[in-house]
Amino acid sequence: MLVDSLKSIPPGHRYRTLILCFDDRAHKLSDNDSNVVEFFRLLKKDDSSEQQVYHQSGIGIYTPLNGTASQLMAKFSEVMDDAFGWYFQVHVMDAYEFLMQNYTAGDRICIFGVARGAYTACSLAGMIHKVGVLPAGNHKLVPRAYKMYLRNDAEGWKQSAAFKKAFSINVKIEFLGIWDTVSSAGIVPKRLPFTNFNSIVRTFRHAVALDECRAKFEADWRDHPNKQQDLNISSMPANLHRHLPDHDEEDLLNALERKSSEQNNTPTDILEVWFAGYHCDICGGSATKNTAPNLARIPLRWMIRECFTANSGILFYSNLLMDIGLNPSSLYPFVSPRPPSLPIGGNHIQCMPTTSSNASGAPEASYRYQTEEEMELADALSPVHDQLSLYWPWWLLELLPISTRYQLKEDSWTSRSGWNLGRGRVIRATKSAQIKIHRSVKMRLEARYADGSRYIPNARLDESYTIWVD
């Protein structure tokens, strides 16, 4: 049977897949679709015995649980959730309850998120690591489990380990895929446990924006631990937040997470790849629906290909994969190597729209039946969407002194305070943790705008430690 004639690929397997998808605060279904919505659209959903899917609209999409609040109060709650993540715990616990009610032994758990939804996804994965998954029906224990997850003092770590042993199921997370996550979500602590390092995740994939330059969209890439560093738990202060400067707190939390993960012997397969574009060009939602070409399609296709490369078991509708330029035969039963990129020829980089609502692009109908390489070339040269240029109020935050943190050589962290003023992200690489840049960036670098100018990424990086990936 030809792959194209199958209803889904893979056609089926002996286990069930549970997939949880977390959207960003601004990506409602009535607006431009994020990559999480596009990804969710491609998933097989008609047989929960094979695959069960969960979608959360995201921070800022708040509905009172009891249904009795006034419309004014409901709107206020939504605005506060959007601005400050007031109900972040509700988002995490709701997804946790979905897992609690549906997980059975042998299921594969896959989690995806975009922007602040990506941070929610990482937090859910962290909660699963620290307190496990409760058996079905234990709704009243969920708030207690979440509080134990939040605690980062020595006694809290001991209590959460005891809670996990007494009440919960140990599980692995098969795949964690995120698009340009942020470093926090509103008023939650600066970093929750296991959001930077999570040894129960088998495969981790992260698409990151090369050009984002807003201070409040600081990139949050994964910790690359130094295995020789250890921690003496008895030397840890009662509460990290009260006794340590930010960078020491980060180092201690990283070390404590690794100490708690020593029984997990299989290292996580980590791959973070940088793509041309700003935050919304990687996460999707910058262009109007059915707009093509579109920069966001490149990290979307990359993430789907990585699902097959990692043998995640996620079931996709094969005909819908073709709509975004993916040939099912190149993904299953084996993932085919990518052909070389097409030459630039006489194509030019498209200029950025003048307003956030003026996205350019061809109708999707004229774009659907091209090969992936033709689509990739068109997408790679499509407009970027710089929110500092499109929406001037973002500059108010650039003028405020903001503290940012970043990883130094290998495993140590530090922080700095100051005015960002629209500067690009700082990418620090080492010989053991080289920066991976997608090949579509090279295509954009080789092309020119119609006026002869070139694309220059905003990110500041050491090119001697970079490699190109497909």
Best CA proximity match to 286, nearest among 398, 376, 209: 209
Q: Could you give the CA distance from residue 258 to residue 267 in angstroms, rounded to a whole number?
A: 11
Measured distance between the N- and C-terminal CA atoms of the chain, rounded to whole angstroms:
29
pLDDT of residue 347: 96
Q: What value does the mean pLDDT take over residues 384-390? A: 85
Domain limits of the chain? 11-226+241-330
pLDDT in tens, 349-366: 999 876 555 444 444 544
The single-letter DSSP state of residue 220 is -
pLDDT > 60? residue 397? yes
116-131 and 154-167 helices, crossing angle to 10°: 70
Q: Is the peptide bond before 10 cis (omega within 30 degrees of 0)?
A: yes
pLDDT > 90? residue 153? no
pLDDT of residue 351: 92
Q: Could you give the CA distance from residue 83 to residue 438 in angstroms, rounded to a whole number?
A: 32
Q: What value does the mean pLDDT take over residues 147-175? A: 95
Q: Could you give the CA distance from residue 269 to residue 429 in angstroms, rounded to a whole number?
A: 18
Highest mean pLDDT among 49-53, 151-155, 194-198, 463-467: 49-53
pLDDT in tens, 88-123: 999 999 999 999 999 999 999 999 999 999 999 999
pLDDT in tens, 47-59: 999 999 999 987 6
Say how many C-beta atoms besides its own lie within 10 A of residue 136's C-beta. 13
pLDDT of residue 197: 87
pLDDT of residue 410: 53
CATH number of 11-226+241-330: 3.40.50
pLDDT of residue 290: 67
What is the strand order of the sheet 173-179 is part of?
51-56, 17-22, 108-114, 173-179, 201-209, 269-275, 435-438, 466-469
82, containing H or E segment: helix 71-84
pLDDT > 80? residue 251? no
pLDDT of residue 353: 74
Which amino acid, one-letter code, is at 14? R
pLDDT > 50? residue 233? no
pLDDT in tens, 323-343: 999 999 999 999 999 999 999
Mean pLDDT of the chain: 82
- Four-residue CA torsion sign, 131, 115, 332, 317: positive
Q: Could you give the CA distance from residue 467 to residue 434 in angstroms, rounded to a whole number?
A: 7
Q: What secondary structure does DSSP assign to 215-261, as a single string?
A: GGG-B-PPP---TT----GGGS-S-HHHHS-HHHHHHHHHHHHHHHT
The single-letter DSSP state of residue 454 is B
pLDDT tier for residue 404 given thresholds of 50, 70 and 90: low
3-state secondary structure of 397: helix
Please state the pTM of the whole predicted model.
Answer: 0.86
pLDDT tier for residue 442 given thresholds of 50, 70 and 90: very high
Q: Say how far residue 361 (Cα) sits from the centre of its chain.
A: 25
Q: Could you give the CA distance from residue 220 to residue 143 in angstroms, rounded to a whole number?
A: 27
